[in-house]
Amino acid sequence: MRGNKTFPVAAIQMVSSISVDANLRRAQELVAEAAQQGACLVALPEYFCFMGRRDPDKLAIQETAGTGPIQDFLAHTARQHGIWLLGGTLPLQSEESGRIYNAALVFDPAGRQVARYDKIHLFGFRKGDESYDEAVSIKPGTPIAKTFDAPFGKVGLSVCYDLRFPELYRAMGEVALIVVPSAFTYTTGSAHWEILLRARAVENQCYVLAPAQGGKHENGRRTWGHSMLIDPWGEVISCLPEGEGVVSGDISLARIDEIRLSLPALRHRTQGIK
């Protein structure tokens, strides 16, 4: 057992607009609020920086990896507050002129980028008048599980629609925390969001931190919200149903150890089943 040490973390919920500058200002305020509450790790939602009127609009604000105002903002904010900052997602240039990578970047307390994950699974949905096809403007990332080392252990990276593919999380190995920045639609979120998040926590016996978009956007889209932190037993520690704000709670290494010791499902798992 690793003792009773805890690590405060926070998820930011936003209702991002079509203005990058306005979104960055709001993100700055909310991250500052989380940092003032003591969070050592803060995660922003998918598309925190921009929710365009049409999917291709994100091409106009794409940045080259390593340079650009959105990346500068993330690096500066992490350094300013001395926190680990998971920058939701932002559009990074790909090898294809008509598609971008939907990239999740991680910055350490010194403002250095320490990890990048490009969304692998691209959302497609059609029901009545509601239709989405991310593959039109997004290029999928290389299908490799991505993690980084935080002060409390290994953290697994994923984005939104990835949540429906449990094999991605198994490939991460034993992690202390999974982060899922998202912009779930109201339709799919109301049906499946909490179920899927709790399932990922239970089957991987780790914490899950899920920052989300949560409201009605200028482009007419309605996102589900319900940003939350879930413990390794699948219990919801904190949740914000809608609107903008901060969801916070503690990562307890003792809690992880307790659950994995009492129910050693990770050790019992048989690999290579066909």
Could you state, in order of their start, the residue ranges of all structural domains in the chain?
6-263
Average pLDDT score over residue span 260-267: 95
Weakest-pLDDT range from 110-114, 131-135, 172-176:
131-135
pLDDT digits (tens, 9 = 90+) for 235-261: 999 999 999 999 999 999 999 999 999
Question: Angle at CA 140, nearest 5°, toward 15 and 229?
Answer: 45
In this structure, what DSSP letter does residue 125 have? Answer: E
At 10 the pLDDT is 98
Q: Which residues are catalytic?
A: 46, 119, 160
pLDDT for residue 206 is more than 90: yes
The burial class, CB within 10 Å (0-12 / 13-18 / 19+), for 80 is: middle
**Averaged pLDDT score across all residues of the chain:** 95
At 4 the pLDDT is 81
Average pLDDT score over residue span 33-62: 95
Share of the chain above pLDDT 70, in %: 97
pLDDT digits (tens, 9 = 90+) for 135-163: 899 999 999 999 999 999 999 999 999 99
pLDDT for residue 112 is more than 60: yes
Q: Which two tokens stand for residue 181?
A: 């920045």
At 27 the pLDDT is 98
pLDDT digits (tens, 9 = 90+) for 210-223: 999 999 999 889 99
- 3-class secondary structure, 247: strand
Q: pTM of the full predicted structure?
A: 0.96
Task: Give the H/E segment covering residue 118.
Answer: strand 113-118
pLDDT digits (tens, 9 = 90+) for 71-107: 999 999 999 999 999 999 999 999 999 999 999 999 9
At 253 the pLDDT is 96
Cα distances (Å, whole numbers) of residue 206 to 141, 162, 164, 258: 24, 17, 17, 11
The burial class, CB within 10 Å (0-12 / 13-18 / 19+), for 19 is: middle
- Residue 130: pLDDT band by 50, 70, 90 thresholds? confident
Considering the four listed CATH numbers 3.30.70.1140, 3.40.50.720, 3.60.110.10, 3.40.50.150, the one that applies to the domain covering 6-263 is 3.60.110.10
